[in-house]
Structure 1
Amino acid sequence: MKKISFIHAADLHLDSPMVGLKHLPPNIFTRVKESTFTALKKVTEAAINHQVDFVIIAGDLFDGEDRSLRAQSRFRIEMLKLAEEGIPVYVIHGNHDHLNGTWVHLDLPSNVHVFNSEVETKVLHTKNGDIVNLYGFSYPTRHVYDRKIDDYIKKDGADFHIGILHGNVSAGVEHDNYAPFSISDLHQKDFDYWALGHIHKRAVLSETPPIIYPGNIQGRNKKETGVKGIYHITLTDLDKEMNFLETSDIIWEEIMIDAASAKNFLEVLHLCQTTINSVRREQKGTLLSLFLKNIQLMDEREQRSVKGELLELLLEEEKEEESFVWVVDLTMVKGQEIDKEKLKSDANFFAELFQTVDHYDNVETALSPLYEHQLGRKYIAHLSTAEQKELVNKAEKLLIDLLYQS
Structure 2
Amino acid sequence: MKKITFIHAADLHLDSPMVGLKHLPPDIFSRIKESTFTALKKLTAAAICHQVDFVIIAGDLFDGEDRSLRAQSRFRTEMQKLLVHHIPVFVIHGNHDHLNGSWVHLDMPANVHIFDSEVEVKDLHTRSGEKVHLYGFSYPTRHVFDRKIDEYMKVEGADFHIGILHGNESSGTEHDNYAPFSIQELNEKGFDYWALGHIHKRAVLSETPPIIYPGNIQGRNKKETGTKGCYLVELSESDVNMKFIETSDIVWQEAFLDAAPANSIDEVLKLLSAKINDIRQDKTGTLLTLHLENVHLNDDREKRALSEELLELLIADEREEESFVWTFELTMMASQQFDKEHLKTEANFYAELFETIDNYQEINPAITPLYNHPLGRKYLSHLTEEEQDTLIKQAEKLLIELLYQS
Coarse TM-score class (shorter-chain normalised): 0.7 to 0.9
CA distance in structure 2 between the partners assigned to 1:199 and 1:334 by the alignment:
37
SS in 1 for 2:133: strand
| Cα distance change, pair 336–106 in 1 and its aligned pair in 2 (3 A) | farther
In structure 1, the partner of 2:285 is 285
In structure 2, the partner of 1:351 is none
CA distance in structure 2 between the partners assigned to 1:267 and 1:31 by the alignment:
33
Quote the offset at 1:240 in angstroms: 1.1
CA distance in structure 2 between the partners assigned to 1:81 and 1:294 by the alignment:
52
Query: Within the alignment, does 1:64 sit opposite 2:84 as a pair?
Result: no
SS in 1 for 2:22: coil
Quote the offset at 1:24 in angstroms: 1.1
| Cα distance change, pair 336–85 in 1 and its aligned pair in 2 (3 A) | farther
| Cα distance change, pair 15–172 in 1 and its aligned pair in 2 (3 A) | same
1:268-302 residue CA offsets vs partner (Å, 9 max, x unmatched): 11111111000101111011100011111101111
In structure 2, the partner of 1:119 is 119
In structure 2, the partner of 1:82 is 82
In structure 2, the partner of 1:91 is 91
In structure 1, the partner of 2:213 is 213
In structure 1, the partner of 2:8 is 8
Quote the offset at 1:386 in angstroms: 6.5
1:54-92 residue CA offsets vs partner (Å, 9 max, x unmatched): 000000000000111000000000000001111000000
In structure 1, the partner of 2:363 is none
CA distance in structure 2 between the partners assigned to 1:24 and 1:405 by the alignment:
38
CA distance in structure 1 between the partners assigned to 2:310 and 2:264 by the alignment:
12
In structure 2, the partner of 1:246 is 246
In structure 1, the partner of 2:306 is 306
In structure 2, the partner of 1:369 is none
Matches for 1:17-56 after TM superposition, within 5 Å = 17-56=17-56
In structure 1, the partner of 2:152 is 152
SS in 2 for 1:329: strand
SS in 1 for 2:256: strand
1:350-383 residue CA offsets vs partner (Å, 9 max, x unmatched): xxxxxxxxxxxxxxxxxxxxxxxxxxxxxxxxxx
Matches for 1:297-376 after TM superposition, within 5 Å = 297-333=297-333, 335=335
CA distance in structure 1 between the partners assigned to 2:182 and 2:93 by the alignment:
21
1:206-231 residue CA offsets vs partner (Å, 9 max, x unmatched): 11111100000000110001010000
Contact kept? 2:296, 2:334, Cα under 8 Å = no
Quote the offset at 1:405 in angstroms: 10
Quote the offset at 1:135 in angstroms: 0.2
SS in 2 for 1:294: strand
In structure 2, the partner of 1:178 is 178
1:125-179 residue CA offsets vs partner (Å, 9 max, x unmatched): 1111111000000001111111000000000100000000000100001101010
RMSD, aligned α-carbons: 2.2
CA distance in structure 2 between the partners assigned to 1:327 and 1:187 by the alignment:
44
CA distance in structure 2 between the partners assigned to 1:164 and 1:197 by the alignment:
8
SS in 2 for 1:143: coil
Over 2 Å off, 4+ runs: 333-337, 384-387
CA distance in structure 2 between the partners assigned to 1:22 and 1:274 by the alignment:
28
CA distance in structure 2 between the partners assigned to 1:386 and 1:18 by the alignment:
26
SS in 2 for 1:309: helix
Q: What letter matches 2:101 in structure 1?
A: G
Which 5+ residue runs of structure 2 have no aligned equivalent? 338-348, 350-372, 377-400
| Cα distance change, pair 167–334 in 1 and its aligned pair in 2 (3 A) | farther
SS in 2 for 1:292: strand
Contact kept? 2:131, 2:158, Cα under 8 Å = yes
1:328-363 residue CA offsets vs partner (Å, 9 max, x unmatched): 1011135579xxxxxxx9xxxxxxxxxxxxxxxxxx
In structure 2, the partner of 1:163 is 163
| Cα distance change, pair 69–171 in 1 and its aligned pair in 2 (3 A) | same
In structure 1, the partner of 2:341 is none
Q: What letter matches 1:311 in structure 2?
A: L
Contact kept? 2:90, 2:113, Cα under 8 Å = yes
| Cα distance change, pair 138–335 in 1 and its aligned pair in 2 (3 A) | farther
In structure 2, the partner of 1:197 is 197
Query: Within the alignment, does 1:134 sit opposite 2:134 as a pair?
Result: yes
Give the TM-score, by structure 2 length.
Answer: 0.83
How many pairs does the alignment contain? 349
1:70-124 residue CA offsets vs partner (Å, 9 max, x unmatched): 0000000000000111100000000000001000000001100000001000000
